[in-house]
Amino acid sequence: MKTVAILGGGPAGATLAARLAQSGIRPVLFADGKAPELLVGESLIPAVVPILRRLGIDERVAGMATPKPGVSFVHPKAAQDMDFTFDSVEGVLPTYAYNVPRPAFDHLLATRAEELGVSAIRHRAQVEPDGNGGVRLTPESLAAAPLLGGKQPDWLIDASGRQRLFARALKIPARKGPRQDVAYFAHFQGYHHPKAPGQVIITRLEAGWSWRIPLPSDRLSIGVVLDREAARALGDTPEDRLHAAIHADPYLAPAVATATRVTAVKSYANYQLTSKQGFGPGWIQLGDAYGFVDPMLSPGLFMAMHSADALADLFLEQPQGPNAQALRRYFDQLDDWLRAWTELIDLFYSGRIFSLQAAGERILQVTRRNPVPRMLQKHLHSHIACMTAGAWTTRHYSRRLIRFASKHLIWGVPPAETMAIR
Ligand SMILES: Cc1cc2nc3c(=O)[nH]c(=O)nc-3n(C[C@H](O)[C@H](O)[C@H](O)COP(=O)(O)OP(=O)(O)OC[C@H]3O[C@@H](n4cnc5c(N)ncnc54)[C@H](O)[C@@H]3O)c2cc1C
């Protein structure tokens, strides 16, 4: 049996490690042991739940999370909010998801991997090019894992997230997304929540958008995602910028009128990027280390865990490690997922989803007695809900339906550009 070392113990690395261990392959997991107070990735989608069940931790996650019934999109120019509940995915996926305190969630995943027999090494792994298009552990990192017996592992998996260890070592270029956003976020207590408990709220801001994610211990995670220039105009520090963005918004300001910020403010930038090469001789990139598209619809943890799950299946099919053909197929599928999320997210950024909703409402008013428009609207709504939940995101029919509807069914309402998120 081949030896596998996974570098990074976040959702991608810990899921792969646990799944391999469940199947009798015992990888070495390098986890740097960092436990920051705050981490983004707090809102999960229903498609994560089957993976949690496979790992045997769904109940433990339920015990540490806030149940998330759905997501609402609030647009100041829209006549009404767009409320999605996960009831719409009944029969396709579990009708629930979670909002999780990320550091605790990561800790649980890593604990589960160790329970299943994974050897976790508390060490910040380092790699260097091996001169043949691959990477190897530096002597210091190799020595940190006595189980490897001084021998380089047969397979190295980069699950280091945005550190992108292998891409940096091998100078692999990345495709960048179109937005130059920066995100600021913190937790608040004593807030007002205008939707159902646990419901995530996404609001279009003057220049960007915001998230509100209810968490356990009466915490609300508030994040603002802003164009870099717009962010600079709001102040000098992340605290200034987050507070200015919140207080300038007519929806966010009342939510925190009586609230207290209970954590530091954390910033993220440059996160829309995907590697141009995902694997090479003896190495594979996983999760954010390979690519991440955008946080708006919370695809990150699902993609990290789903890609780990699928990679574990490849190792089970080919215990010597997946061959190039299998890996090409795997990355083709992964790229299709990332493209599908990008298309879906663009529906929101471009404003087309809000125009579609307005056009639908208008048609319903005009054709009150005709059941067909209502049926069509329900059909569209359920496809969008199933796509955002991670069930039908890559389905051809759903993608074509949304493309068609957002191109041909929008009339009699202001153009989508006026509803776009800047
Ligand atoms: C602004 C923003 C908001 C987001 N919101 C959401 C959301 O609500 N829901 C969602 O699902 N996703 C969200 N995401 C995305 C999500 O956070 C990521 O997609 C997800 O964390 C990826 O998991 P990962 O395991 O690939 O990487 P990470 O979570 O980054 O894990 C990598 C791990 O490797 C460790 N590591 C790094 N280098 C080394 C090393 N050399 N040696 C050992 N260990 C190392 C790190 O400390 C970390 O523990 C958001 C992202 C951004 C930027």
Q: CATH number of the domain that 188 lies in?
A: 3.30.9.100
Same domain, 316 and 170: yes
Question: Encoding tokens for residue 135?
Answer: 């990477």
Residues 136 and 279 in one domain: yes
Q: Which two tokens stand for residue 56?
A: 């045997």
C-alpha of residue 102 to centroid of ligand 1, in Å = 9
- The closest residue, in CA terms, to atom 19 on ligand 1 is 300
Last residue of a domain, one of 301, 322, 338: 338
Q: Is 31 in the pocket of ligand 1 (CB under 6 A)?
A: yes
Q: Which atom of ligand 1 is nearest to the CA of 162?
A: 30
Residue nearest to atom 7 of ligand 1 (CA): 41
Among 338, 361, 379, where does a domain finish?
A: 338
Place of tokens 């809900």: 385
In a domain, 64, yes or no: no
Tell me: do 27 and 136 sit in the same domain.
Answer: yes
Claim to verify: residue 125 and residue 22 sit in the same structural domain: yes
Same domain, 318 and 381: no
Q: Collect all residues with Cβ–Cβ distance below 8 Å to 146 and sequence separation of at least 6.
A: none
27 lines ligand 1 (CB under 6 A): no
Q: What is the CATH number of the domain that holds 17?
A: 3.50.50.60
Residues 12 and 135 in one domain: yes
Q: Which residues contact 322 (CB under 8 A, 6 or more apart)?
A: 311, 314, 315, 330
Residue 292 and residue 207 share a domain: no
Best probe residue, ligand 1, of 105, 109, 157, 163 (max atoms within 8 Å of C-beta): 163
Range of the domain at 227: 181-269
Distance 10 CA to ligand 1 centre (A): 6
* One domain for residues 308 and 279: yes
List, in order, residues 6 or more apart from 257 with CB less than 8 Å away. Answer: 192
Which residue's CA is the closest to the ligand 1 atom numbered 29? 10
Total number of domains constituting the chain: 3
Evaluated on CA atoms 235, 239, 241, 246, the torsion sign reads negative
**Euclidean distance between CA atoms 403 and 209, whole angstroms:** 23
| Per-residue confidence (pLDDT) for residue 407, from 0 to 100 | 86
| Cβ atoms of 36 and 187 closer than 8 Å | no
Q: Are residues 277 and 332 in the same domain?
A: yes
Are 196 and 285 in the same domain? no
Instruction: Report the alpha-carbon distance of residue 15 to residue 31 in Å, rounded.
Output: 13
159 lines ligand 1 (CB under 6 A): yes
Structure tokens at 18: 């646990």
Same domain, 287 and 303: yes
Structure confidence at residue 359 (pLDDT): 84
CB atoms within 10 A of CB 62: 14
Task: Tell me the two tokens of residue 317.
Answer: 């099919």
The pTM (predicted TM-score) of the whole model is: 0.96
Residue 101 contacts residue 64 (beta carbons within 8 Å) = yes
Q: Which residues pair with 174 in a beta bridge?
A: 275
pLDDT tens for each residue of the chain, 422 residues long: 789 999 999 999 999 999 999 999 999 999 998 889 999 999 999 999 999 999 999 999 999 999 999 999 999 999 889 999 999 999 999 999 999 999 999 999 999 999 999 999 999 999 999 999 999 999 999 999 999 999 999 999 999 999 999 999 999 999 999 898 999 999 999 999 999 999 999 999 999 999 999 999 999 999 999 999 999 999 999 999 999 999 999 999 999 999 999 999 999 998 889 999 999 999 999 999 999 999 999 999 999 999 999 999 999 999 889 999 999 999 999 999 999 999 999 999 999 998 888 888 777 777 777 888 788 888 988 999 999 999 999 999 999 999 999 888 887 878 888 889 98
Chosen domain end from 287, 321, 338: 338
R_g (Cα) of the chain, nearest Å: 22
Question: In terms of domains, do 142 and 284 share one?
Answer: yes
Q: Is residue 67 part of a domain?
A: no
Residue 221, in any domain of the structure: yes
